[in-house]
Amino acid sequence: MRSFRRELGPLLGSTILDVLVGLGPDGELKYPAHPRDKRWNFPGVGEFQCYDKYMLSVLGACAQQVNQPSWGLRGPHDAGNYCVWPHQTGFFHQRGNWGTPYGKFFLQWYSDMLMQHADAVLGIAREVLLGPETPHTHYGYQPPYQRLQGNESGNVSGRGRGSSSDGEDHGGVVMMARAAGAGPGASPLSAPLPPAIRLHAKLPSLYWWYTDAHAPELTAGYYNTATRDGYMPIMHVLARNGVSVRLRGGELRGSELHTQAYCAPERQLAQQRTVAAALHVPVGLENLSERFDEGALSRLEAALFDTSVHQGIELPQVQSLVFNRMCDSMFEPGNWTRFKEFVRRVRNRAETLVVPGRGSLNGNSGVFGHPGCPSALNLPAAPAAGGQWLAEPSGGGKGGALQLA
């Protein structure tokens, strides 16, 4: 990350306004539990990733602390392999060992290790890219974690506080560049970085086997079950570090997916957005599939402008969309026509948006208390060179952007 800042420092805050911090496979925060090779295929539950010497030593130490040394010898013995279904295992089936004292201990430890990794990497990213004096209160974060907290009933309600620890893992960064009319000499490397830089982290869409255990989420590191909210810990980490979240799969519909795998992408996205709203973490969306049919584009548009109420929490306006990705099928005549119309519709709706109580399109105060943050999703009418839709500043601030990744 220091090399990234050293080489591209003059562009930060002028051309480069957003930085996606890579936290794991595909840039997402997750264990490599569902590798894209022949070891795993959909809709397998995946495998726990805890068998290297370092992970086993930490697991053993934690087991000793709870006076259960046998729990620290290895991961669950009955969790199956990458491609099995939940009912084929002793751990993930409806009354499986995920709900036993051992299962709860292991899943909590496994998830905590992932959260510690995220906190360490994002802390380094904040310090290196935003500067050591950057306060931990970006995006309306209000410590301590008083507003909403996950509980054993699966709701985001009540009071509580999250926890995370420092670590030593380092992650990569992927930049998103926008044409903002500034040249490479806009600021020297030694100058403090402007607060207009926005950091983002991407979460996976693990929407299949949405049964009691939520097996694919468990193997990926999210302790999310029918009785426990597994996204509250990572939203605490993002809020504390002033990082927005990018969520995937807004174009998916469970009824169109594997009929036997209990797919529920709509429920998962709603849960993630609700927890993000509870902790004032800004949300961006990214499509998961390369689809250009009207149904998928319409659902993605609906997700972008969804400000409905979930569990008593109103979802704030989505801040950005990254359309993934530019491929051969995009430029087929019918697909290209539908995609252009989709962009026009989204832009026209975005032009009329005002986020209630948090600034307007003509204000400079931004949203979530962060100067320069867009007050609403703001998209241009036509593609720029290279196939990217680049936003123009709105009212003196930096606009959101639809970018083809």
Q: Provide the annotated active-site residues.
A: 28, 286
Hey, what are 20's tokens?
């996606």
Q: How far apart are CA 324 and CA 290, in angstroms?
A: 7
Helix 101-125, helix 53-65: angle, nearest 10: 120
d(CA 295, CA 293): 6
Q: Which residues contact 128 (CB under 8 A, 6 or more apart)?
A: 1, 2, 4, 5
Contact assessment for residue 10 and residue 185, using Cβ atoms and an 8 Å cutoff: yes
CA 192 to chain CA centroid, Å, is: 27
Buried b / exposed e over 291-309, threshold 16 CB at 10 Å, is bbeeebbebbbebbebeee
Which contiguous run of DSSP H or E holds residue 309?
strand 309-310
CA 300, CA 322: separation in Å to the nearest integer?
A: 11
Nearest to 319 by CA among 232, 265, 246: 246
Q: Which of 42, 24, 29, 26 is nearest to 82 (CA)?
A: 42
Distance from C-alpha of 53 to C-alpha of 69, rounded to nearest angstrom: 16
Q: How far apart are CA 303 and CA 269, in angstroms?
A: 9
Strands 198-202 and 243-248, how do they pair?
parallel
Going by C-alpha positions, the residue among 173, 170, 174, 172 that lies closest to residue 121 is: 170
Alpha carbon 247 to its chain centroid, in Å, reads 5
Give the bridge partners for 12, in sequence order: 16
Rounded Cα–Cα distance for residues 351 and 380 (Å): 9
Q: What's 245's DSSP letter?
A: E
**Whole-number Å distance between alpha carbons of 321 and 307:** 15
**Matching residue, tokens 């926008």:** 178
